[in-house]
Amino acid sequence: MEFIHALLEYTFLQKALLTSVMVGIICGVIGCFIILRGMALMGDAISHAVLPGVAISYMLGINFFFGAVLTGVLTAVGIGYVSQNSRIKNDAAIGIIFTAFFAIGIILISLVKSSTDLYHILFGNVLAVRTSDMWITLVIGIIILAAVYFFYKELLVSSFDPTMSAAYGLPNRLIHYFLMTLLTMVTVASLQTVGVILVVAMLITPAATAYLLTNRLSVMIFMSAAFGAISAIFGLFLSLIYNVASGAAIVLVSAFLFTLAFLFSPKQGVLFRTIRARKVKSALRDKSYS
Amino acid sequence: MTYAMSVQNLFVSYHGNEALRNINFNIEKGNLVGIIGPNGAGKSTLLKSLLELIPKDQGTVVVFGKSINEMRKKIAYVPQRSDMDWTFPISVIDTVLLGTYPSLGVFRRPKKKHREWSYHCLEKVGMEKFSQRQIGELSGGQQQRVFLARALAQKADLFCLDEPFVGIDITSEETIVRILKELRDEGKSVFVVHHDLSKANTYFDELILLNKELIDVGPVSEVFRPEIMMKAYESQLTFMKQNEVTV
């Protein structure tokens, strides 16, 4: 009750809540495609790689969105280039390139800004969300949701069967970089809510939770968005009540939801799997004795 | 005369290793064509390079008198089963529905009539009872039939199947062969990468016999003869002979 009361009273809280719910939703939506394409590591890489872009944007005095998208996409291209043109496998290429970008980012930020700013970019500071940040997040959110809505078919078929999509003429590589661009935008939108370090959790955990609960991509996307939003609301609530970091609280709520699904999902959960396996075994035993 | 598939001077390599050398052939429309050859002969590579799914070093491929890019929407491709992610959250009917995507273009969505048509294609392969299942819950043969249904849903002119009979039950294999022959009888052209020589002569009209280069191409009655087959499988046979000597 106190939370709702505070929410009505303080506009900074309203902004924080609206921003983090939006972030929860778009991370959940994009996250579905990230985990289905086996690109969880890529999500981690891009989120770290926006750091130098943010720093350069500060230096040039432009909105950090532009710099972040630039270095995010550069990272995706660089990773693709290294893994295609050498014997280095994709995961190693990811590890090399994103850490290099991240290191550049740390140096640049320590040159131009104080360490508190670095701390906020790394771990988020949702209560400091300004009105302009909230609008940027909303606009990014609308762009992401519209993009997924309009290109749903293409995202689905190129994720499930890239050979078929190539065979009938879809530009798979373009779709990949399109998704990387969306991923970068999501990361930028998440900077203040959960920070670059933990954004990968918001991309992967709600989507993975939904993946355990449904066999339909469309349902998975809605569930994942809902889990993201629920995590954002409860996480923010907990961070206020117990005065802990908001990003960490949001991530822990989503991890808790995942744990529930992991244990109790009717089809994929550990509990029901064990029960089913026991039933099969005991049925076999009964038969062999009779 | 426009051929279903006309290939000239096709060369393909992987990282500098030659995979296909100077392939030339013309296949007329309305044929059921088997691409056969020993392991590592480049059968799947040939199928993929014909559709420009992998880059070629040199050569021209003409499909129904046109370039591959003009014909893409009329080409149905059924991938090898081992290439698929069977845990993907998609149902059987939605998998078949993917076959209607090429004709829909980018922004249009499948409507009720597309769903009905997809269901009809599922009926053709005898899989309609499983329409709501997740694809990973099916057996290998059932999965292959669903992918054939998807190819049917595409209303293609050219069907390309990569090793469709690997690891599947005999009922599914018979269903698939029957449907491929029906397609052939309707005047469609069907290319199948196939590894099991025992049935090659009953399944196909034409054979492309391959071992990095084209050994022979033509009607089954001409190609499926011991002295010609020997040429493709020579390396494996000499290996066997050597083994016998040492044993």
As a whole number of angstroms, the distance between CA B11 and CA B61 comes to 11
**Cross-strand pairs, B206:** B33, B219
Residue labelled with tokens 């500098």: B16
Residue labelled with tokens 């090898």: B80
Give B17's pLDDT tier (boundaries 50, 70, 90): confident
Alpha helices in chain A (DSSP H): 2-9, 11-36, 40-60, 64-84, 90-112, 115-123, 131-150, 152-160, 162-167, 172-190, 195-211, 217-242, 246-264, 270-289
Give A154's pLDDT tier (boundaries 50, 70, 90): very high
As a whole number of angstroms, the distance between CA B178 and CA A8 comes to 69
- DSSP H/E element including B193: strand B189-193
With 70 as the cut, is the pLDDT of residue A1 above it?
no
With 80 as the cut, is the pLDDT of residue B33 above it?
yes
Q: Residue A268: closest CA among chain B residues belongs to which residue?
A: B87
Alpha helices in chain B (DSSP H): 43-50, 68-71, 92-97, 101-104, 112-124, 140-153, 170-185, 197-203, 220-223, 226-246
Give A288's pLDDT tier (boundaries 50, 70, 90): low
As a whole number of angstroms, the distance between CA A147 and CA A155 comes to 10
Nearest-Cα distance to chain A for B83, in Å, is: 9
Give B240's pLDDT tier (boundaries 50, 70, 90): low
Average pLDDT value over all residues in chain A: 88
Q: What is the model's pLDDT at position A143?
A: 95
Give Cα A228 distance to the centre of its chain.
Answer: 9
Query: Which residues on chain B are in Cβ contact (under 8 Å) with A159?
Result: 88
Query: Which residues on chain B are in Cβ contact (under 8 Å) with A172?
Result: none
Chain B positions touching chain A (beta carbons under 8 Å): 51, 53, 69, 72-73, 75-77, 79, 83-85, 88-91, 94-95, 98, 101-102, 104, 106-107, 109-110, 134, 150, 154, 160
Q: What is the pLDDT of residues A119-153, one digit of tens each?
A: 777 888 888 888 888 888 899 999 999 999 999 99
- Asked if B90 lies within 8 A of A215 by C-beta distance, the reply is yes
Q: Residue B69: closest CA among chain A residues belongs to which residue?
A: A169
Q: What percent of chain B has pLDDT over 90?
A: 53
Q: What is the model's pLDDT at position B247?
A: 42
How far from B35 is each of A81, A131, B151, B220, CA to CA, in Å? Answer: 34, 64, 19, 11
Give Cβ neighbours of residue A218 (< 8 Å, ≥ 6 apart). A152
Give the up-direction half-sphere exposure of residue B166: CA atoms within 13 A in the CB hemisphere. 14
As a whole number of angstroms, the distance between CA A194 and CA A232 comes to 9
As a whole number of angstroms, the distance between CA B35 and CA B163 comes to 10
Q: What is the pLDDT of residues A160-171, one digit of tens each?
A: 999 999 999 999
Instruction: Confirm if B73 and A169 have CB atoms less than 8 A apart.
Output: yes
Full set of structural domains in chain A with CATH? 2-289 (1.10.3470.10)
- Asked if A216 lies within 8 A of B89 by C-beta distance, the reply is yes
Mean pLDDT across B104-112: 88
Burial-class residue B54 by CB neighbours within 10 Å (0-12, 13-18, 19+).
Answer: middle
Q: What is the model's pLDDT at position A99?
A: 93
Full set of structural domains in chain B with CATH? 5-246 (3.40.50.300)
The closest of A177, A227, A180 to A205, measured between CA atoms, is A227
How far from A104 is each of A71, A196, B184, CA to CA, in Å? Answer: 11, 15, 61
Q: What is the pLDDT of residues A241-262, one digit of tens each?
A: 898 888 899 999 999 999 999 9
Nearest-Cα distance to chain A for B245, in Å, is: 40
Of B77, B88, B106, the CB nearest to A160: B88
Instruction: State phi, psi for B3 to the nearest 5 degrees.
Output: -85, 155
With 90 as the cut, is the pLDDT of residue A232 above it?
yes
